[in-house]
Chain A
Amino acid sequence: MAAGAGAVTAGDHPATPVVETLRLLAKQRRRTPADDPALARIGLTVLPVAAVLALAVVPLGDTAPVDLDVGVVWFNAMEVLAWFAVWVAGWGPNAVTSLAGGYRMLPLGLAYELPHMLAIITPAIAAGSLAPATIAAAQHDLWYAVWMPAAFVLYLVSVAAMAFWGPFAAPLGRDLAGGAVAEHAGLGRLLLHAGRWMLLTAGAAMAVPLFLGGGAPPPITGPDPFPGLPALWFAVKLVVVIGLLLAARRVVPMLRTARFVTLAWTVLIPLAVAQALVVTVVVLT
């Protein structure tokens, strides 16, 4: 919440998310003349719901809340709903800043989506499965993060981008006075920021089964020091992934969408295809 709230305050108090949530809960809602409140509400509701639905197929340990044999595809479909959600949340208020912010989400999506899809398909090729739990189980000898590092890095980049967060926060940019969220006060702002953090968490959580061996201990530790506690290993790995994302945010400032589009199409997509090719060749031999 603090990161999205704007302002030059580095190093926030641990209680800040709680204080911010209460503050937004109690704040009066706000509308603009000739707006489209239904459209904005649909967007603001879709975002957190899509994040929960994406998280539902992620194995939080050994098994996912909903074990789907095409879990990777479902996850992909839910995450794309964020494009729509941010776009219409920005469209609703009939304001220049929020409209411009909402529209920034679309080229951002066009840029990150293909590297993202290739990055989640690559572990699926190696495991021969689209079920996250099966992909995690296929890594008992070697984590995919180790032998397909490019796919892992591309996945982390795309997680930040799908949550329009950190370097990819242009749709909520400070240069647009908050962009898609500029005119939303209180509840609307809370749903958008909460949905964004949930999406970031869901993306980070999916990195654990796809690249970090799921609920199993690292292959190098030998016998599991905490047998029967896959959720614990999952949690430790999730914290590490989120830590990596937070560290990246400190290093990389917000990128203009046009610059990221060029980077994505000229560097990231060819890199992702090359990584998929390498993995396919290894799988076939």
Chain B
Amino acid sequence: MTGFVALAVVAGAALVGVGLVVAGSWLVRVVAGTRRPLVAAPHVGGMPVVEHAVSRWHVRWPTLALVFLAFDMEMLFMYPWTLVVARSGPAAAVEMFVFLGILLVGVGYAWREGAFRWS
């Protein structure tokens, strides 16, 4: 568990590092007299913006995300599996790659259905 405590310390140090950059920039901008941010229209080429951009986004890859999720769950099992496969012998390897093979067949089906092409 000490490893994760050390990582928490590293995270704190990294945050302090970001804070130092922020403080440095702040100091420079105070000296230059540009401390406050400029509030400006979003840029799409210089013409006036009439609508908010943050609205429902037409995500055209939901099938891809689902296929990914199935595969990603499997990868979670693969991490502990790497530690025991050499000891457990061929049976563990066969099980894992049959599982991967089934997933790849699923990927092939999704590909044929056009899940990976959307534009």
Contacts and interface: CB of A to CB of B under 8 A. Distances in A.
Contact between A and B in the complex (any CB pair below 8 Å): yes
Interface of A: 24-26, 28-34, 36, 45, 48-49, 52-53, 56-57, 65-70, 72-74, 91, 93-99, 103, 106-107, 110, 113-114, 117-118, 121, 124-125, 128-130, 177, 182-183, 185-187, 190-191, 194, 256, 258, 261-262, 265-266, 269-270, 273, 276-277, 280-281, 283-284
B42 A284 contact: no
A171 B79 CA distance: 30
Name B's interface SS.
Answer: helix
A93 B78 contact: no
Contact of A129 (B83, B110, B111): B83
29 contacts: A24-B25, A25-B25, A25-B28, A26-B25, A26-B32, A30-B37, A30-B38, A34-B52, A52-B17, A53-B11, A73-B79, A94-B54, A95-B43, A95-B49, A106-B65, A110-B64, A114-B68, A114-B71, A114-B72, A125-B85, A129-B82, A177-B45, A187-B21, A258-B117, A262-B116, A266-B116, A276-B100, A280-B96, A284-B89
Given A69-B3, A117-B75, A273 B119 contact: no
Given A53-B7, A66-B6, A96-B53, A121 B79 contact: yes
A24 B22 CA distance: 11
A95 B42 CA distance: 5
A48 B57 CA distance: 27
Contacts, number: 184
Contact of B61 (A33, A67, A72, A107): A107
A67 B3 CA distance: 7
A76 to B, nearest CB: 9
B25 A277 contact: no
A53 B7 CA distance: 7
Contacts of B38: 28-31, 185
Contact of A280 (B4, B6, B21, B93): B93
Contacts of A26: 25, 28-29, 32
Nearest to B19: A45
A53 B54 CA distance: 31
Contacts of B25: 24-26, 186-187, 190
Contacts of B54: 36, 91, 94, 99
Contact of A93 (B42, B57, B86): B42
B16 to A, nearest CB: 10
Nearest to A68: B3
Given A31-B39, A129-B83, A95 B17 contact: no
A265 B85 CA distance: 26
B48 interface: no
Contacts of A68: 3-4, 7
A194 B22 CA distance: 13
A32 B42 contact: yes
B10 A56 contact: yes
Contacts of B44: 95-97, 177
Contact of B43 (A34, A52, A177, A191): A177
Contacts of A98: 42, 53
Given A32-B40, A52-B13, 6 more contacts: A25-B21, A65-B10, A91-B54, A97-B44, A191-B18, A262-B116
Contacts of A270: 104
A273 B43 CA distance: 44
A266 B113 CA distance: 13
A122 to B, nearest CB: 9
A191 B21 contact: yes
A269 B119 contact: no
